[in-house]
Amino acid sequence: MKNNTKIYIAGHKGMVGSAIWRTLSNKGFSNLIGASSKELDLRNQQAVRDFIAEEKPEVIIDAAARVGGILANNDYPYQFIMENMQIQNNLIDAALQNSIEKFIFLGSSCIYPKLAPQPLKEDYLLTDTLEPTNEWYAIAKITGVKTCQAIRKQFGKDYVSLMPTNLYGTHDNFDLNTSHVLPAMIRKFHEAKENNNAPVILWGSGTPMREFLFVDDMAEAVVFALENKLPDYLYNVGTGEDLTIKHLAETIQKITGHQGEIIWDSTKPDGTPRKLMDVTKMHDLGWKHKIELEEGIQKTYNWFLENKDVFKQVKI
């Protein structure tokens, strides 16, 4: 891969896309292109076809998606399945129609069955039922994985899918109505600390196990896939290590300096009991994460503090 290779990053303004853009720029890649959602509606098939035909990128990295936590998935199932399928289908088909040889599709660990053996191996895809709280998003992402696999099989192109574990980091979403668990906790603990160390109420029992990967490490995995022709169609990307949500909460509480009580609302759902990724395939090829959880949370909290004025204050 040459430094002047023209690379289109879909979703380049989001947490993952911006990390990929930043990482590629730092490595000397100078011909990166992106389009904001106002400039290009990825749900619009003709608009995407026209954009790809005009720009003629050599590589497409699909980091665009409609994302959210349990609440958002539960409240907007139609948008989560339809919009994600529209985005990825439009990009993948436009890539194929324009003879683009390399496509990197980003998904999620939620594609695997709810009660699959742990850690989650790539081979477990489609072997059992999904977690109901995010099945809409999962089904959309599964179709993306299988579509890229179909193109590899039928046309021999280097279309590969990377399935990250739970991602977090700078430029994350801290909106409590739509955010994932880690950034939501950072905001809740910070604002509770500012509010005389008020109690923090968290969903569920705190017993589920979760794995977290700092977004810059995810970007490095994308660069690894960019610079190498990976031999298979699907790869997990994570740390291979997990912890309880309770332990996560206590870690974030310590980093933010909150000294109040943590209250677990057991009337709210826990989600999947455990989602630990088997990252053997990526490790065997030579990629491994570098940023450990506490360091990553501290970096994320620092970014939140620098940008917190843009987040509307909420009542804890």
108 has binding-site annotation = yes
17 is in an annotated binding site: yes
Can you give 109-175 as a three-state secondary structure string? HHHCCCCCCCCECHHHCCCCCCCHHHHHHHHHHHHHHHHHHHHHHHHCCEEEEEEECEEECCCCCCC
d(CA 73, CA 137): 7
180 annotated as a binding-site residue: yes
- Give catalytic residue positions: 137
Degrees to nearest 5, angle at CA 117 with 109 and 203: 55
Spatial distance between the Cα atoms of 19 and 300, rounded to a whole number of angstroms: 13
Instruction: Confirm or deny that 188 is annotated as ligand binding.
Output: yes
38 labeled binding residue: no
Is 166 a known ligand-binding residue?
yes
> Cα separation of 172 and 187, whole Å?
11
14 is in an annotated binding site: yes
> What is the C-alpha separation between 262 and 201, in angstroms, rounded?
6
- Nearest CA among 314, 290, 301 for reference residue 23: 290
Q: What are phi and psi of 274, to 5 degrees?
A: -155, 145
- Check whether 164 is labelled as a binding-site residue: yes
Angle between helices 181-194 and 293-307 (to 10 degrees): 60
Which tokens hold the place of 205?
A: 């029992």
SS3 21: helix
106 among annotated binding-site residues: yes
* Kind and range of the H or E run holding 272: none
CB 119 within 8 A of CB 66: no
Summarize the annotated binding site as residue ranges: 11-17, 106-109, 141, 164-167, 180, 188, 203, 210, 270
Summarize the annotated binding site for NADP(+) as residue ranges: 11-17, 106-109, 141, 164-167, 180
Summarize the annotated binding site for substrate as residue ranges: 188, 203, 210, 270
